[in-house]
């Protein structure tokens, strides 16, 4: 039996725009995802988050589901456009009322609330002024963080500033497959910096309000060479690792931007956005680092290869290898060793800060059999990745908790509703929730604080 340490925290995660719906309720303002999802061709099936899982109105039932699973922590995100409909300016207390009620409901069931302040739903009013390419957005974020902390800080102990700034910057401003849909590499790098600055300023603001546990959630990738013996492939790994991992982690951990990465992004224009004290601000001490992991990335040096486009600006000559082994419904390769390697690497290269797996999970084409959702593939995915976490713990990585992505099937951004990551199936027509086999499996893992002997069993 793979026993987890006493006090290991089991939970699940969601994000506001993916589950809440109620986009016009109680004074919420529009976000970049409202705009983007209404742009023809931007989201599969023309889906939007307008109704999603209607969690805004059904949160009590959803918290009861969490309690039934035995979750000890729930990571959700606060929608900035509910709290500050215009991005800056007066706080909309009616928007905060919702999170107030949610936090109370969670606590009354013994579930630790773990809010993330930014999970991609930037107020449209801020995007209209340049969004993350505008330094003022980072300052506005710190003010918004203070407003949320003022209201919830007496009951919330663990805070996350941003979720996956890599996605916000590169997918939002580089490749344009996420909101706001811009395709400008220089803008992507500027966005990286202002997101990091927002994290630093937000961390300072939360601490000034008395917050004790503040962290950042990243989606580091295990970058691997197609040919482990090739020096050229090793160079490709270094560049992609720099653009994906080190560009965020080095400054957050007080090492400043890596010189090779700064030199690379200098090809897209002088980093005029880097003011003298910014790196100090970004390095505001954190108490936890959240790791979202789904799959590894394999790269090879191949003259003439197109590279990663706006997702990895300036990587022409690098081939991003398609998945070689089994994949999830997203086409993402299933390889738990990537998670174990990452946790060990983070523990080694960025020591001293507890790690949390703040997202891990998979979309599959679940089958409904006589009212039961049979999702053996998800159980096997979770089981394999938890074994990888267990292995990393045994090797000394300081991992404190594991949160499944996701509690509910939900709006999977540019892929709409057809990709289902939930432990709980959602019928979007009726809003009926049905815990999948994986939910029952997860309940028993939590109850035993251990994985079953053979793996995959219920």
Which H or E run contains 394? helix 376-394
Angstrom CA distances, 173 to 18, 197, 207, 316, stand at 20, 17, 30, 18
Q: Is 105 in the site for ligand IFM (CB under 6 A)?
A: no
Of 18 and 311, which has the nearer Cβ to ligand IFM? 18
Taking the complex as a whole, how short is the minimal distance between the CB of residue 401 and ligand IFM, in angstroms?
A: 16
Q: Kindly state the DSSP code that residue 68 receives in the 8-state scheme.
A: H
Angle value at C-alpha 143, between 140 and 146, nearest 5 degrees:
150
The interface with ligand IFM within residues 414-443 (CB under 6 A) comprises: none
Of 105 and 409, which has the nearer Cβ to ligand IFM? 409
Distance, CA of 416 to CA of 52 (rounded, Å): 10
Q: Is 319 part of the annotated catalytic residue set?
A: no
Taking the complex as a whole, how short is the minimal distance between the CB of residue 15 and ligand IFM, in angstroms?
A: 5
Q: Is 412 part of the annotated catalytic residue set?
A: no
Catalytic residue among 164, 279, 319, 412, which? 164
Whether 211 and 283 have beta carbons less than 8 Å apart is answered as: no
Catalytic residue among 127, 333, 359, 412, which? 359
Q: Is 121 in the site for ligand IFM (CB under 6 A)?
A: no
Residue in 62, 359, 383, 437 binding ligand IFM, rule: CB under 6 A: 359
Residue in 134, 292, 311, 328 binding ligand IFM, rule: CB under 6 A: 292
- 253: Cβ contacts below 8 Å, ≥ 6 apart: 283, 350, 353
| Bridge partner residues of 434 (DSSP) | 425
Of 134 and 360, which has the nearer Cβ to ligand IFM? 360
Taking the complex as a whole, how short is the minimal distance between the CB of residue 448 and ligand IFM, in angstroms?
A: 27
Q: Is 405 in the site for ligand IFM (CB under 6 A)?
A: yes
Whether 243 and 309 have beta carbons less than 8 Å apart is answered as: no
The interface with ligand IFM within residues 10-49 (CB under 6 A) comprises: 15, 18
Of 265 and 377, which has the nearer Cβ to ligand IFM? 377
Q: Is 164 in the site for ligand IFM (CB under 6 A)?
A: yes
Whats the size of the chain, residue-wise? 458
Q: Is 279 in the site for ligand IFM (CB under 6 A)?
A: no
Three-state DSSP at 455 gives coil
Residue 265: which of 195, 312, 297, 304 has the closest Cα?
312
Taking the complex as a whole, how short is the minimal distance between the CB of residue 328 and ligand IFM, in angstroms?
A: 10
Whether 74 and 112 have beta carbons less than 8 Å apart is answered as: yes
Angstrom CA distances, 62 to 82, 407, 421, stand at 20, 9, 16
Q: Is 412 in the site for ligand IFM (CB under 6 A)?
A: yes
Of 137 and 219, which has the nearer Cβ to ligand IFM? 219
Q: Is 314 left (phi over 0), alpha (psi -120 to 50) or beta?
A: left
Cβ atoms within 10 Å of 247's Cβ, excluding its own: 24
Distance, CA of 224 to CA of 318 (rounded, Å): 12
Three-state DSSP at 401 gives strand
Of 118 and 405, which has the nearer Cβ to ligand IFM? 405
Taking the complex as a whole, how short is the minimal distance between the CB of residue 252 and ligand IFM, in angstroms?
A: 18
Which residue's CB comes closest to ligand IFM?
A: 15
Taking the complex as a whole, how short is the minimal distance between the CB of residue 412 and ligand IFM, in angstroms?
A: 5
Distance, CA of 61 to CA of 220 (rounded, Å): 33
Taking the complex as a whole, how short is the minimal distance between the CB of residue 121 and ligand IFM, in angstroms?
A: 10
Three-state DSSP at 198 gives helix
Of 15 and 156, which has the nearer Cβ to ligand IFM? 15
- Contacts to ligand IFM by CB under 6 A: 15, 18, 164, 292, 359, 405, 412
Active centre residues (catalytic): 164, 359
């Amino acid at each position: 039996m793979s026993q987890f340490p006493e006090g290991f925290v089991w939970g699940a995660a969601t994000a506001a725009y993916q589950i809440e719906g109620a986009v016009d309720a109680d004074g919420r303002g529009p976000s970049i995802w409202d705009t983007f999802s209404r742009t023809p061709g931007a989201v599969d099936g023309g889906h939007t988050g307008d109704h999603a899982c209607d969690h805004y109105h059904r949160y009590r039932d959803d918290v009861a589901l969490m309690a039934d699973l035995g979750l000890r922590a729930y990571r959700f995100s606060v929608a900035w456009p509910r709290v500050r409909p215009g991005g800056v300016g007066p706080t909309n207390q009616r928007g905060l009322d919702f999170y107030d009620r949610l936090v109370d409901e969670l606590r009354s069931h013994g579930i630790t609330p773990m809010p993330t302040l930014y999970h991609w739903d930037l107020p449209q009013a801020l995007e209209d002024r340049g969004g993350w390419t505008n330094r003022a957005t980072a300052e506005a974020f710190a003010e918004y963080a203070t407003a949320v902390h003022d209201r919830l800080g007496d009951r919330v102990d663990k805070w996350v500033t941003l979720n996956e700034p890599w996605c916000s910057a590169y997918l939002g401003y580089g490749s344009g497959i996420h909101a706001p849909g811009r395709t400008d590499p220089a803008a992507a790098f500027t966005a990286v910096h202002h997101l990091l600055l927002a994290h630093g300023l937000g961390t300072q603001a939360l601490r000034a309000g008395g917050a004790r546990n503040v962290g950042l959630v990243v989606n580091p990738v295990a970058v691997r060479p197609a040919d482990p013996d090739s020096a050229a492939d090793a160079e490709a790994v270094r560049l992609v690792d720099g653009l994906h991992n080190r560009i965020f982690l080095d400054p957050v951990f007080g090492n400043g931007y890596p010189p090779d990465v700064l030199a690379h992004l200098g090809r897209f224009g002088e980093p005029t956005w880097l003011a003298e004290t910014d790196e100090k601000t970004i390095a505001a001490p954190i108490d936890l680092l959240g790791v979202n992991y789904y799959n590894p990335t394999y790269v090879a040096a191949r003259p003439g290869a197109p590279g990663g486009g706006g997702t990895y600006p300036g990587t022409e000559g690098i081939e991003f290898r398609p998945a070689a082994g089994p994949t999830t419904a997203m086409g993402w390769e299933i390889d738990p060793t990537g998670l174990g390697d990452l946790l060990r690497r983070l523990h080694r290269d960025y020591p001293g800060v507890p790690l949390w797996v703040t997202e891990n999970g998979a979309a599959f084409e679940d089958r409904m059999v006589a009212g039961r959702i049979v999702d053996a593939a998800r159980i096997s995915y979770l089981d394999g990745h938890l074994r990888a976490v267990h292995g990393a713990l045994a090797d000394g990585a300081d991992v404190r908790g594991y949160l499944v992505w996701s509690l509910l099937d939900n709006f999977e951004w540019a892929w709409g509703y057809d990709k289902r990551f939930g432990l709980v199936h959602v019928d979007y027509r009726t809003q009926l929730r049905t815990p999948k086999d994986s939910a029952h499996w997860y309940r028993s893992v939590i109850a035993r604080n251990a994985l079953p002997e053979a793996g995959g069993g219920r």
